[in-house]
Structure 1
Amino acid sequence: MALSPLAVIPEDEAVTTEDFVQPIKTYALNVETGEMGGMIDGIDAIEQFIYKAIRTARYRFAIYDDDYGSEIDALIGQDVSPELLETEIPRAIEDALIYDDRILAVRDFTLTREADKLFVSFFVDIDNDTIPVEVALDGV
């Protein structure tokens, strides 16, 4: 078999990688306690990414690149109008998630305020599935 890039590889010898999907295994993190244990894969790994990306302040930790995290922390504790929150929270969440290749869309945001908490519900579209997400933001 020739190693020249100009050599034609017969179709029966060609290798296709279209059907191979890389696993997305990661360490399991209990977002309530911060404890790690075991491994997760698939939708569970994507859900964990969603919660971590939203809760991690962008540009604050040198271990993450500038795409990772959200800018929600800039809104928390600030005296901003409800109208601004309804605009900026969905934008900040979508901006934190959409750069990931596994996420196709972030849509249908609903914001509900209870005392000093803001509950944000939305849907994340991935290949062949939709993940419903609800996040509680304190001090908003």
Structure 2
Amino acid sequence: MALAPVNLDELNANDATETAVIGPSKTYRIDFDRGEMGGLINDDEAILQFIQKAIMTARSRFFIYDDEYGCELEDVVGKNVSNELLEEEVPRLIKEAIEYDDRIESASNFVIERSGDQLQVTFNVALTNGKVLEGVGVNV
């Protein structure tokens, strides 16, 4: 006598493989310089805006976001840390901030330029649709 009312062998045999469907990227346009929102953007422009916003948002500081959203760059930027530490930590922190998004496959080829307490970071982003966004830049 089985403990479960369903024959698990039959259930597993009938399982269909799931295919992930990535929805549209349509979102509101944010003008970061003026602090205003207006209009809609989609596709690559929406992904670039997500990247910028995720990197400039401190992780675990705002209740509106879950613990996966945001970046922990403020822990190293502006501190008296060596260039070697920046070269290791900045790419890792940026990857953690953006690669959980289902549209982004990976980030690579990081170039970090330091000017006082500011960082200019450029990198490439490979998308899950096979496209590569080259020279993505953020100021931190």
TM-score range, shorter chain: 0.7 to 0.9
Paired residues for 1:112-123 under 5 Å:
112-123=113-124
Percent identity, aligned pairs only, is: 47
Query: How far off its partner does 1:34 sit?
Result: 1.6
**Partners in 2 of 1:24 and 1:120 — Cα distance?**
24
Match of 2:65 in 1: 64
SS state of the match for residue 131, structure 1? strand
Which residues of 2 match residues 13-24 of structure 1 at below 5 A? 22-24=23-25
> Which secondary structure does the structure 1 equivalent of 2:70 belong to?
coil
One-letter identity of the residue aligned with 1:81: S
The unaligned stretches of length 5 or more in structure 1 are: 1-17
Alignment match of 2:130 (pick from 114, 128, 131): 128
Q: Distance in 2 between matches of 1:70 and 1:115?
A: 20
Where 1:60 maps in the other structure, the secondary structure is coil
Please give the TM-score of this superposition, normalised by the length of structure 1: 0.79
1:95 is aligned to 96
- Aligned twin of 1:14: none
Q: Give the 3 Å change call, closer, same or farther, for CA 115–79 of structure 1 in structure 2.
A: closer
| Inter-partner Cα distance in structure 2 for 1:22 and 1:81 | 41
Instruction: State the Cα distance separating 1:115 from its structure 2 match.
Output: 3.8
| Cα distance in 2 between the residues matched to 1:88 and 1:21 | 30
RMSD: 2.1
SS at match of 1:112: strand
The amino acid that maps onto 2:130 is: N
1:92-137 Cα offsets, whole Å, 9 max, x none, are: 0000011001001101111122343221110011113111311122
* Aligned residue-pair number: 122
Deviation track 1:10-53 (CA, whole Å, cap 9, x = no partner) reads xxxxxxxx7x7622211110122221001111111111000000
- Specify the SS of the correspondent of 1:57: coil
- Verify the 8 A CA contact 2:71 2:94 in the aligned structure 1: yes
SS at match of 1:134: strand
Structure 2 residue ranges without an equivalent (≥5)? 1-18
Q: Post-superposition, which runs of at least 4 consecutive aligned residues in structure 1 deviate over 4 A?
A: none
CA distance in 2, matches of 1:114, 1:75: 14
Decide whether the 8 Å contact of 2:78 with 2:118 is kept in 1.
no
2:98, 2:22 → 1: CA distance? 21
Which secondary structure does the structure 1 equivalent of 2:68 belong to? coil
